[in-house]
Structure 1
Amino acid sequence: MSEVGYAAAFLGGLFALLSPCSALLLPAFFAYAFPGHAALVGRTLLFYLGLCAVLVPLGMGSALVTGFFYGHQDVLITAAGAMLILLGVLQLTGKGWAIGPLERLRGHVSGDSPGAVLALGAVSGLAGFCAGPVLGAVLTIAAASGSTLRGAVLLALYAAGMAAPLLALALVWQRFDLGRRRWLRGRPLRIGRLRLHTTTFASGLTFIGLGVLFLAFDGTRTLTVPIPEAWEVGLQQAAAAVSVPDLLVVAGVGVALAVLIVRRLRKVGK
């Protein structure tokens, strides 16, 4: 059993974007990006937390958690698909419902609300169970080694790799203020007695489409994508073969965070 390092775990999550199991990621981003013009990076970080909420407990090697997820996968897939469809219907009709303290900041669930974005991340994590040999290696090592901390960190990094392309999209979206461009700003829309908006309408349809796809393809496990399987397998194997000292990865992350904090403080000070 080969050891999987931090860099390999991150790259495994990044290359999982080419896997059918991760087919929800890009549509999920647009589902919460369309109706939200601001704080898109923050929403993407919430999406990442949703991924972690599902993947990290699995990486901790708990037999109870693993047994729950794998033993009730069909029920979880059905519930997740139904939830996405319900969120889409609520978004289409402009309705909402409160789901706890988190939603009191916004009042109700909508396509770009914290609760909906967290749910999207969790559903994407649920779909990502079958995404690539790197994930399988991490889960096997976590279960065999008994090191819950290392397993949790590896899965958090794997989830970070999955979320990295979405974060890059969010940064570009906000940098060029795409949400306020005329072609994305949308316009009011009336269907019968319903008064809607084209952006929330598109978001709602995306939610519903994701829910239907999730139910129809067994949580995306039976979904195929127009990418040669050899590419996906090759990239995953290349990720697993990457050997970068974990300490160097930690140092790199620390430097990146320090640079971001300094830039943020300079902006605040201006």
Structure 2
Amino acid sequence: MEIGFVTALLGGMLALLSPCSALLLPAFFASTVGTRLQLLAHGGVFYLGLVLTLVPFGLGLGALGSVLISERGLVIAITAAVLVALGLMQVFGIGFDLARIVPGMDRMQRGASTRTGFLRTLLLGAVGGVAGFCAGPILGAILTLALAQGSPWGAGAMLAVYGAGMVGPLVVIAALWQRMGDRARRMLRGRSFTILGRQFHTTSVITGTMIVAVGVLFWTTNGLVAMPALIPTDVQSWIQERGALLADPRVDVIAIVVVTGIVLTVWALRHRRRSEPAHERDADASRPVPSTSKR
């Protein structure tokens, strides 16, 4: 089910750039958060809000999927059909807002508009995970995949990955927002185009096509079971062997020494740069002032 987690990650990234709300959150973070450290802190709080809303959905759907595990063939058929339908809806710009059916979302949306600081960021994350007309089919597709997981923890992890797909680009774009030109922002927003008199959007078409492709794969690979692993088996074995080596206490000591040396080196270089201007000022002050004589 690795492809499912990859789909969840990409789905979160594309949900952030959906036509209805493209770059609204990065613009907000760039305008309200000062330093990069503050931006990272707000990004972590935003992700916490996403997790608090999304992961319970995943756990519930995973539990339901585990009950239906005996009807695997039916679950696969329904999941594939729903994914294809949601993908086509996304392509044609037909959306829905799941926040309208979630209890308490209206109150949290009002709170996000009136609060300030980290509380506002937390509420934005809680609401942003499920709100959005354009992103509705994307979240619906990820929830459908979560149901097909057949495991509460696997489904919860998939929704957490979906949230990470949203918050990662959010922090990066917000950090670079002031350096971006109009052209770069237009590229991130995508563009609209018309075919046979109907208007489409590039982001929606790309996202919808991806969802349809996953639906077809889900059907043709028996619920992605027959799908080749993204990481080959020999590579996974090599990683496990190296992971066992890292458990050696001697490796831990060496790692601590190396990290400590790097930290001390960086601190010394920064301290040296800060102290250089003071030495230069002292040197200038100690120089004799040339005397001037009047004739």
TM-score normalised to structure 1 length:
0.52
Cα distance in 1 between the residues matched to 2:240 and 2:185: 37
Question: Is 1:119–2:140 an aligned residue pair?
Answer: yes
SS at match of 1:190: strand
8 A contact 2:146–2:159 mirrored in 1: no
Question: Is 1:168–2:168 an aligned residue pair?
Answer: yes
Cα distance in 2 between the residues matched to 1:44 and 1:193: 43
- The superposition leaves residues 83-119 of structure 1 with CA deviations (integer Å, 9 ceiling, x where unpaired) of 22222222222334677833998xx985413xx3442
Q: Which entry has the higher C-alpha Rg, 1 or 2?
A: 2
Question: Is 1:24–2:47 an aligned residue pair?
Answer: no
8 A contact 1:186–1:199 mirrored in 2: yes
- Aligned partner of 2:90 in structure 1 is 91
- Aligned partner of 2:189 in structure 1 is 185
1:76–1:51 Cα change, 3 Å: farther
- Aligned partner of 1:34 in structure 2 is 17
Question: Is 1:200–2:183 an aligned residue pair?
Answer: no
Q: CA deviation at 1:194?
A: 0.8
- The superposition leaves residues 140-169 of structure 1 with CA deviations (integer Å, 9 ceiling, x where unpaired) of xxxxxxxxxxxx8x7797557645742434
1:122–1:66 Cα change, 3 Å: closer
Cα distance in 1 between the residues matched to 2:81 and 2:48: 22
8 A contact 1:31–1:111 mirrored in 2: no
8 A contact 1:55–1:159 mirrored in 2: no
- Aligned partner of 1:247 in structure 2 is none
Greater shift, 176-185 or 188-197, is seen at 176-185
* Alpha-carbon RMSD: 4.5
SS at match of 1:72: helix
Q: Any unmatched runs of 5+ in structure 2?
A: 27-42, 107-130, 248-295
Structure 2 matches for 1:53-92, cutoff 5 A? 53-55=57-59, 65=64, 68-92=67-91
8 A contact 1:50–1:120 mirrored in 2: no
Q: Any unmatched runs of 5+ in structure 1?
A: 1-15, 60-64, 130-138, 140-151, 243-270
8 A contact 2:83–2:214 mirrored in 1: yes
Q: CA deviation at 1:20?
A: 4.4
Indicate the structure whose relative CO is greater, using CA pairs within 8 Å and at least 6 residues apart.
1
Greater shift, 45-54 or 20-29, is seen at 45-54
The aligned amino acid for 2:223 is G
Structure 2 matches for 1:108-147, cutoff 5 A? 110-113=133-136, 116-126=137-147, 128-129=149-150
Cα distance in 2 between the residues matched to 1:48 and 1:120: 19
How many correspondences in the alignment? 194
- The superposition leaves residues 215-264 of structure 1 with CA deviations (integer Å, 9 ceiling, x where unpaired) of 2222222211442224446667959x99xxxxxxxxxxxxxxxxxxxxxx
